[in-house]
Structure 1
């Protein structure tokens, strides 16, 4: 279709929409849409740039990995500056035109992209009253021309002019809803032409409406550039996001060397998938793994899994039947994709992660483990929060738990030491909010066994041992003290045949995992009686003094849990001496009041160790 034909198509559609303003019945509906449009915009306050980025991302086909979005704030164009958001991918189609003009309608497939509510674009009403869209020919998008659907939206002056001669023209125009009637644009601004020459196929142009709008755009661009959590992490269709703020020395609207770039940030993303041993996940729960390089924003391990269609359909039917989702959610055509991400290399101390719906949600939406979560959750209107009890969200969080367990099983087979910390982080969920119960159920689906029987705990193993042997289930592992012990160390305990958690994983990680195991009624910390037995086993293997030399060194090393040893057959040093067939003098027995282990603390764990429930 030629550009003139597309312009006429837009003109006729716009006229048909405006013609409805002559009907009192349509006008009553229009007033309601006007009110809802601005209410929706206020609900999205602070999120308009996110919404525009989301639309640019969704314009790229799902199999693309080289997409681009360019955000440009030209502060000298227009009274308050002009914002441009350009994207590659697929140009505007006629269906896109119709949907963007209809409130709460969207051309996006449910579950396919970031948004499908059809209201997010109205968030721009807080920063611009006169948005324009310029797009390439959808039938031939490879050329540098913006010769497809190029249009603006009817404003109050257009409505009043259309209704010229009507007695209520001014009144109708004052309450007519925005973004309803498209009107064709003949001329393409110079900056749009320049962006098209760089390969972008759609440009949204927003003349800003006030100084406050310009300040808002500056603020949000800065937040995107220096976000606390990586914006590009789950935007797998994009390879680059450019954030640019400019002033102009020459003519406004020219994207050339006369512009002074005040700020420019390039956010990049590249992905490399790697093969994993699928049989390691137990009951055939497949996951795929990739390393994602975000340049200065870091490198991440991203693990992806899916919720099978039958399981998803059952949950959607339940939610729709209960009135918790509308009928359109049952149009979901594919399996739901769920992802988790962990930073590489693992930080020394685990940090809180974030929940995403492709883009990060509100700062208070923390992931339940030290990593990030991405899933097509049912969210609040502005996508900053979510109702955790919605059946769809319950299912997706269940799937997150299953993917974490499956991914941890894969990483336990990898010989690289750095992956041990990642495997621990994946299963170290917050112990409150029902996480233990969710992980228990996930273990039955993924491994076909109780969580307490899954080898979640990294333990010390012999040099050269295969990776799988350096893990143990919570039922059989011991959390040794991370204090600065000199003799009764975790490695000495390992040499004595005790299954000890690997201290190289880090005290913070082990404590976090221990909190989960405690919620499973499988505490790792040995009680005094068990600890006394462990100490005797360790001391039995210690080197003894030479003949005739008093064993003070051994005694000093094992001074300790006095009450735990009281009543046993032999004190530690005596037990060690007896094991070697040498006499021991009672004068050198440790005092129950003295500290032990060569440290001011008495012993590695204070809590009683109990058996896990079956």
Structure 2
């Protein structure tokens, strides 16, 4: 709206420009009518029809962006104020003020044109030359008041309104007093937003803005109660907590939004930007910006190479897929990514300096800002085109560079912040992977995922697993305490986990631990517990395994999971026989007591103090982790050892154990013999069965 700092001129000269604009539009209409042209009528249709519809619901946000653009590009302390006064005038008045550059002659003429802006598209939000026309949605005759120079303290520059219906009659009399009906023709064919009328008496509220140091005010007397309601709705929408409008308005330090009725503030809010520099290097800037409600965001800003944008514009213009205004683009640009330094955002949002609608997309769990090629009102992106692809690609390059700095310990970011920077939607991930390669660190080599357990660690994407384990004993806490390092920190919020799943899939990781991995974790827990767990904990541990591995037992068979009476952990790996403690009558001799070393090395007995339930015991038998004690089985083992032994002392020990078993009462000796498939009942211990437990004595 500014077009530069105007030179100080007499108030009368500003007024003359306003009068001349209105008269010249009337003269242009008369001249084009004489040539049979209908340009004025067509422009009126576009300005008051097409543009008005395209910008429906965007008046407040368009005026705010004009207020931003009125400030110097390197200024960060600018002020803007939005004031709605429902009690003023017939149906209320909406004001939008700023303390940037006052309205210049070039800016004035741009406001009266359609699609011809004096702003540089590379440095200003509003450069299409049509946004101001959105005021027609709320108001028939918008008013503008501006100072002659910064700091003037008074609106002594452009002060005008756009034409009301009766103004066309007065203008017609000045242009051609002899022609009757010209005023009516002008009303029907010339857009009121191209015809300006001086305002010589300032409303009191406008004077108040001047005394408070503002340099330009747009005043909109609202058309009807419906428009008053629409103004309220737009102000509420502007303050959407899901998309802070102030975030990327870098020239503004304060935006005040007030709704005032009869002199009392009904609702007054200030939106501030508190910026802290973190890092600046080679066209990359990292800042912490705090906005409304204490929301702290990490904002990454990256310069875009002019050659990249020039090529994207050229390609898009050749295809006819980008706005023709990009032909005027000169130089580079910037992309910005803002992610929370705290809890995750429920949803991301695209910005073209100000928030776009959710329909524009959500590439990542943050805010993505760039000079996108959007629809006319900047609600959503145009269809995929080279310009927008280039900007989004540059944003991913910036994220990859930041991740590399974190990996190299040149920058510190919170766990969630780093995840949000790298967890893009799945369709963008191949390009993100390429960006990581270009930044020197492949995506798979980034330690991005915070882990559960003591100490702050991050692990590679390919290793991370999401598992809580609902069991009481064998669960994620127990695994982490035992040293399992692959479990994702439970503090990572569910919304971030969902975003992380897509990223992890690029490395072939579903985040879900398989049965083999869970079995390995169970062994780690068992080893950790070997000298400390209570018998009740062991019983609960085996009960949890029964639930986790109800059918597929194979992953458990070679894991050292079974706590034994010896204090050792045993595995059902076929090298040892693992028995449950023998069930024997009170006072009966223990058949497994005092075994020879060679025999003891092949036999383990579950710790008898572990109170296994019958259900767990039955599962362990089905899983072939342990078996009920059987004298027949033990005798077979002894027979195998005797066949392979030549040591008299060992043979004697084996025979003693065998005789001890056979001398036991049958009820104690083999209570479960029937369960031994194919096991023959032994002969009387005094009789020798041919080929059984016999070896020639060697002198």
Fold match (TM-score > 0.5): yes
Whole-angstrom CA distance in 1 between matches of 2:533 and 2:384: 68
How far apart, in 2, do the equivalents of 1:543 and 1:379 lie?
Answer: 64
Q: How does 1:179-258 map to 2 (within 5 A)?
A: 179-225=193-239, 227-248=241-262
Shift of 1:460: 5.5
1:320 is displaced (CA, Å) by: 1.3
Give the gaps of 5 or more residues in structure 2.
Answer: 1-8, 571-575, 581-605, 607-611, 621-699
CA distance in structure 2 between the partners assigned to 1:547 and 1:427 by the alignment: 44
User: For residue 295 of structure 2, what is the aligned residue in structure 1?
Assistant: 298
- SS of the residue aligned with 1:505? coil
Structure 1 residue 405: Cα displacement: 3.0
What is the aligned partner in structure 1 of residue 271 from structure 2?
267
After TM superposition, list the pairs within 5 Å mapping 1:116-515 onto structure 2: 116-137=127-148, 140-163=149-172, 164-169=177-182, 170-225=184-239, 227-248=241-262, 259-275=263-279, 287-296=284-293, 298-347=295-344, 350-411=345-406, 419-431=414-426, 434-447=427-440, 449=442, 451-459=443-451, 463=455, 470-481=457-468, 483=470, 486-489=473-476, 492-493=479-480, 495-496=482-483, 498-515=485-502
- In the TM superposition, residue 196 of structure 1 has moved relative to its aligned partner by 1.0
- Per the TM alignment, residue 581 of structure 1 is displaced from its structure 2 partner at its CA by 7.0
Task: State the match for 1:34 in structure 2.
Answer: 44
* In structure 1, distance between residues paired with 2:535 and 2:193: 97
SS of the aligned residue for 2:509 comes to coil
Please say if residues 539 and 576 of structure 1, whose CA atoms lie closer than 8 Å, have aligned partners that are also in contact. Answer: no
Q: Given that residues 230 and 297 in structure 1 are in contact (C-alpha distance below 8 angstroms), is that contact kept between their aligned partners in structure 2?
A: no
Number of equivalent positions: 566
Q: CA offset at residue 203 of structure 1? A: 0.8
CA offsets 1:32-56 (integer angstroms, 9 cap, x no match)? 0011112211221111111111111
CA gap of 1:567–1:298, structure 2 versus 1, over 3 A, is closer
The structure-2 alpha-carbon separation of the partners of 1:592 and 1:316, relative to structure 1 and needing over 3 Å to count, comes to farther
Q: Is the 2:26–2:186 contact (alpha carbons within 8 Å) kept by the matching residues of 1? A: no
Aligned residue in 1 for 2:26: 18
- CA shift, 1:539, in A, is 2.4
Match of 1:542 in 2: 529
Q: CA RMSD in A?
A: 3.3
* Alignment deviations for residues 295-332 of structure 1 (CA, whole Å, 9 cap, x no partner): 42622222212221111111111111212224431322
The CA distance in 2 between the partners of 1:457 and 1:291, in whole Å, is 22
Compute the displacement of 1:437 (Å). Answer: 2.0
Structure 1 portions without partners, runs of 5+? 249-258, 279-283, 595-614
Contact kept? 1:436, 1:520, Cα under 8 Å:
no
Q: Which has the higher contact order (CA 8 A, sep 6+)?
A: 1
**How far apart are the structure 1 equivalents of 2:539 and 2:471?**
20
User: In the alignment, is the contact (CA less than 8 A) between 1:532 and 1:565 conserved in 2?
Assistant: no
Find the aligned partners of 1:13 and 1:94 in 2 and give their Cα distance: 11
Normalising to structure 1: TM-score of the pair? Answer: 0.83
Q: Deviations over 1:134-165 (max 9, x none)?
A: 1111xx32120111122223344333333332
* CA spacing shift, 1:492–1:31, aligned 2, 3 Å: same
Counterpart contact for 1:542–1:576, Cα < 8 Å? no
8 Å CA contact 2:472, 2:544 repeated in 1: no
- State the alpha-carbon separation in 2 of the partners of residues 295 and 395 from structure 1: 31
Q: What SS class does the counterpart of residue 541 from structure 1 fall into?
A: helix
Deviation per residue, 1:12-62 (Å, 9 max, x gap): 343223211212148510000011112211221111111111111111111
CA distance in 2, matches of 1:375, 1:274: 21
Q: 1:195 to 1:523 in 2, by over 3 A?
A: same
Q: Distance in 2 between matches of 1:551 and 1:35?
A: 82
| TM, length-normalised to structure 2 | 0.74
The 3-state SS of whatever aligns with 2:424 is coil
SS at match of 1:429: coil
Q: What SS class does the counterpart of residue 22 from structure 2 fall into? A: helix
Select between 69-78 and 552-561 the one with higher mean Cα deviation: 552-561
CA distance in 2, matches of 1:192, 1:52: 16
Local SS of the residue matching 1:456: strand
229-238 or 409-418, which moves further after superposition? Answer: 409-418
Q: Distance in 2 between matches of 1:545 and 1:94?
A: 85
Per-residue deviation, 1:579: 9.5
SS, match of residue 313 in structure 1: helix
The CA deviation at 1:265 is 2.2
Distance of 2:70 and 2:413 partners within structure 1 = 37
Q: Measure, in 1, the Cα distance between the counterparts of 2:452 and 2:337.
A: 27
Give SS of 2:232's match: helix
Q: Residues of 2 paired with 1:438 and 1:525: CA distance? A: 25
- Cα distance change of structure 1 residues 165 and 572 upon mapping to structure 2, 3 Å threshold: farther
Pairing 1:3-152 to 2, within 5 Å after superposition: 3-23=11-31, 24=33, 25=35, 28-38=38-48, 39-137=50-148, 140-152=149-161
Following TM superposition, by how much is the alpha carbon of 1:266 offset from its aligned partner in structure 2, in angstroms?
Answer: 2.0
